[in-house]
A and B are shown apart, each in its own frame.
Chain A
């Protein structure tokens, strides 16, 4: 396939600044841009699997977590099979590579911040939708307006809050100008999120599923399966390899493993730790482990007793044996965390000392707060793997500090109680820091479990400054100050990040092991375009 021309801007220099033209590269403006075919997108930390590609075949993927609530929409998911289906048919303007760096391997040739509140999107030429229509500026405008429409209930709405849907202008057939309501340097990050797919003008969920992706939907039955056929006009020449991709819903992980063992599916998502050795015992099967940055925080609401006292919050953070929890909840498939999210963000402050269990210190902090022999309720639900286990293990670890934690596993947690609890467990996916703050750590965020930040803190103003700051270095300084505030006073206990562990048949090639993909199976083989059956 033809390489896209490489545009190099080098490090942030006076030239680029005066031109106020910053090419998006991983949210920082540093670094040249690596643009190449999908196979070259493998990062340094991951290794590609399999032998030489063979054309054709039906790739059968088993996914748990779906049901009759399944949907296909280029800009929304409800269940995990929805993710597997979305990426087959829809693509984003920018893409994250296997190192979680933003790249212009998507539909956009470039995405530039011309001014703190002005962005320009330039599309690649020669990209067509499944129905043969050429991708143009109008489609991008329609897609972004659809994401910004709160009535649609889409995932991307909160992240693109600064976009003024009525002030997106068409410069030419392939160029779109965004005039923001307020300065925002995270637009590029948002445009790389898999759920911000580009759809054609007039697209609706109920209508025909038309995207630019490598496969188009042939059939779809909620809770059962979908069949996707190769897009013969795909813009990445020579791709994809499979004739069809079949995504099959599994209500039960045991049936999913059995189907893989007996060769009825070629790959499966989310293999339980206990089954990994079973898969390893079969020479024709393998495990794919992605370094995800999914997290299951224990959330302490900083304005509700007893957590309105920072001594208590710090004590609780010191009660956690993070390694033990990682072993018990995810059988070690992950990394311990330091109560801070977004570890893949280039501005992540890894210099803050790692917290370890310190029962004596925790007890003394609780004593200082006058909270000896504390009893608290911890609410959790089976919303994502590990949420219930994390709560139970925390409860047992807290005993050492004389704290009684009563765990409530409530199936209606996301109904009436959510966001109103003093102490609860939640789950999050991988995001860079500022987009994550927009979703969970400021008063306007839709899911602010901890009721962060404190009233007397300058966190919010730091956030506004960081959002408006186009200089990556200065932005990183502001982000470090925000992270320090959360590290010292925050309401999250983040014990670990869990890996995405999947299993597949070794006849499938092109999967990147160890990738920092946000979705399972190396983001489903980059929308099934870079994986194949080996010859």
Chain B
């Protein structure tokens, strides 16, 4: 550890990181407030009247008026926003127009299901892509690297729904028949109770994210391996294993964390497509349903959840980047 540049340890640095995190959290909260305004404004601008959408062909003037009253659609927009935002702060996302149930009840299980799918995909794809990317860089221009490069390029170019449908055809319906084609989670059940049924959706998401991370990891590793300090470490006679693990990997991970964060956040959106293919009972299906029903409270709640996820993942990526990058850490 002698070569590490800059000061190490000390209370000043800890305070620096603490302050930095606090600042980022406050920024994140500000972003969420702005997002809540945008989400609310956007859902107000959605064409169509929720009351009419709910009543459909049975909308009579009397029933419309009664329903508008019940849904508080007659209040001024600003007041509607404040009621909604205050409710959110108290953990109350309102009542679904279509289901006539609290949004929290409607989404509770679905959030758990989607989160589980995202966590499984993340836990598999992150280590896997770091490993593949590192080895591809290490064995640059050798067969492993060439094949990896080609395969990741293909999967990066394929949209999730193509990959998902292909996996279903391959493993569930047409070629082989050993995996379930869709994920049926009974209401009140949990996805981990039937791990076999989440293999295909997880695999689809892993295949959607891994290629990007592999490519950025490889590029960043290649750059690091050519750097002076790696050269120096090697010249000093440090074993290659230590050079890679102690010198190259931490430095290559910095930029990769950012890409991982963006990709995981992207997953929160991509999961909608995957849930659709596999009939997976998550927030994606609920969002699609809510949009078609003009179910504004549900749309708003899901938009806020996804925005929150973006903020949290970016915050985590920034913190992780700083922790593996002494150069940045010391500047705080």
Residues of A within 8 A of B (CB): 67-69, 78, 153, 219, 221-225, 227, 248, 250-252, 254-256, 258-259, 261-264, 411-412, 414-416, 418, 446-447
Specify which chain A residues have a CB less than 8 angstroms from the CB of B24 in the assembled complex.
none
With A251-B288, A261-B181, A262-B180 as given contacts, are A414 and B57 in contact (CB-CB < 8 Å)? Answer: yes
17 CB contacts below 8 A, A to B, read A67-B292, A67-B293, A68-B98, A69-B98, A78-B56, A153-B63, A223-B289, A225-B187, A250-B279, A255-B277, A258-B168, A258-B182, A262-B182, A263-B177, A264-B182, A415-B49, A447-B57
Specify which chain B residues have a CB less than 8 angstroms from the CB of A414 in the assembled complex.
52, 56-57, 59
Complex Cα distance, B182 from A251, in Å, reads 12
3 nearest CB pairs, A to B: A221-B187, A258-B181, A262-B181
14 additional contacts, CB 8 Å, given A248-B184, A415-B52?
Answer: A68-B106, A68-B286, A68-B295, A78-B56, A227-B186, A250-B279, A258-B181, A259-B182, A261-B172, A262-B173, A411-B48, A416-B52, A418-B57, A446-B58
Complex Cα distance, B288 from A250, in Å, reads 12
In-complex Cβ contact of B172 among A219, A251, A258 (8 A): A258
Complex Cα distance, B168 from A262, in Å, reads 9
Specify which chain A residues have a CB less than 8 angstroms from the CB of B174 in the assembled complex.
261
Specify which chain B residues have a CB less than 8 angstroms from the CB of A418 in the assembled complex.
57
Is B278 at the interface (CB under 8 A from chain A)?
Answer: yes
CB atoms of A222 and B182 under 8 A apart: no
CB atoms of B56 and A255 under 8 A apart: no
Task: Write the B170-192 contact mask toward A (1 if CB under 8 angstroms, else 0).
Answer: 00111001011110101110000
Complex Cα distance, B279 from A250, in Å, reads 6
Residues of B within 8 A of A (CB): 47-49, 52-59, 63, 96, 98-99, 101, 106, 165, 168, 172-174, 177, 179-182, 184, 186-188, 276-279, 281, 285-286, 288-290, 292-293, 295, 298
Specify which chain A residues have a CB less than 8 angstroms from the CB of B165 in the assembled complex.
254
CB atoms of B181 and A259 under 8 A apart: yes
Specify which chain A residues have a CB less than 8 angstroms from the CB of B181 in the assembled complex.
255, 258-259, 261-262, 264
With A68-B298, A411-B48 as given contacts, are A254 and B277 in contact (CB-CB < 8 Å)? Answer: yes
In-complex Cβ contact of A252 among B96, B276, B286 (8 A): B276
Specify which chain B residues have a CB less than 8 angstroms from the CB of A259 in the assembled complex.
181-182, 184, 279
Complex Cα distance, B279 from A306, in Å, reads 46
How many whole Å from A119's CB to the nearest CB in chain B? Answer: 27
For B52, B184, B288, the residue with the greatest tally of chain A CB atoms inside 10 Å of its CB is B184
How many whole Å from A529's CB to the nearest CB in chain B? Answer: 24
The chain A residue sitting closest to B47, CB to CB, is: A412
How many whole Å from B266's CB to the nearest CB in chain A? Answer: 21
State the main secondary structure of chain A at its contact with B: loop
Specify which chain B residues have a CB less than 8 angstroms from the CB of A262 in the assembled complex.
172-173, 177, 179-182
Complex Cα distance, B286 from A224, in Å, reads 10
Complex Cα distance, B172 from A53, in Å, reads 29
In-complex Cβ contact of B187 among A68, A224, A264, A415 (8 A): A224
Specify which chain B residues have a CB less than 8 angstroms from the CB of A223 in the assembled complex.
99, 285-286, 289
How many whole Å from A257's CB to the nearest CB in chain B? Answer: 8
For B52, B99, B101, B298, the residue with the greatest tally of chain A CB atoms inside 10 Å of its CB is B99
How many whole Å from B53's CB to the nearest CB in chain A? Answer: 7
Complex Cα distance, B298 from A489, in Å, reads 47
CB atoms of A68 and B293 under 8 A apart: yes
CB atoms of B292 and A255 under 8 A apart: no
In-complex Cβ contact of B173 among A68, A261, A411 (8 A): A261
CB atoms of B187 and A219 under 8 A apart: yes
Specify which chain A residues have a CB less than 8 angstroms from the CB of B177 in the assembled complex.
262-263
Specify which chain A residues have a CB less than 8 angstroms from the CB of B279 in the assembled complex.
250-252, 255-256, 259
Complex Cα distance, B277 from A256, in Å, reads 9
With A411-B48, A415-B48 as given contacts, are A68 and B172 in contact (CB-CB < 8 Å)? Answer: no
Complex Cα distance, B189 from A227, in Å, reads 14
For A78, A227, A259, the residue with the greatest tally of chain B CB atoms inside 10 Å of its CB is A259
Complex Cα distance, B63 from A416, in Å, reads 14
With A67-B98, A69-B98, A69-B99 as given contacts, are A251 and B276 in contact (CB-CB < 8 Å)? Answer: yes
How many whole Å from A411's CB to the nearest CB in chain B? Answer: 7
CB atoms of A68 and B281 under 8 A apart: no
Specify which chain B residues have a CB less than 8 angstroms from the CB of A227 in the assembled complex.
186
CB atoms of B277 and A252 under 8 A apart: yes
How many whole Å from B198's CB to the nearest CB in chain A? Answer: 14
The chain A residue sitting closest to B58, CB to CB, is: A153
